[in-house]
Structure 1
Amino acid sequence: MIHIYGHTWPVRWGDNGEEKMVKVYANCTEVEIFLNGKSFGSKKRNSQDYPAAGLR
C-alpha cells in the first residue's frame, strides 16, 4: 500500500521552481519518487519517525 498525502490538489500545487515536501504513507520498506520519469530519490521507512514514518 502507498498513499501520497493530500486529498486536494491545492496541497500539491506550487509555483515553478518552488520546493514542496511530499509525505508518503506506505507499508513498503522503501519508496522512491519520480516526476516525469526522473527519480527524486528514495527513502527507507522508519516506523518510529512521525509523521509518515519518515517518508517525507
Structure 2
Amino acid sequence: MKGNVIVTSGTALLAAKQVPIVFAVANDPVSSGFVASLSRPGGNITGLSLQATVDVRGLH
C-alpha cells in the first residue's frame, strides 16, 4: 500500500525521497539533516520545529 503523504515525529522521515513528508516537532531539523534551512526547507518536506532558548538572569 503506497501512501500519498508521510506524517512522522522521528527520523523515519529520511526513508522516503519521493513521498511528501510532514514532520511533527523536530528539535533542530537543519542540523539533523531533515531540511536545508528553516526558511526554505527544499525537497519534499515541511513541518513544525520548536526553538527554545535559555535566558539566564542573575539576581542583583
What TM-score range do you get, normalising by the shorter chain? under 0.3
Q: Which has the larger radius of gyration?
A: 2
TM-score normalised over the length of structure 1: 0.27
TM-score normalised over the length of structure 2: 0.26
| Structure showing the higher helix proportion among its residues | 1
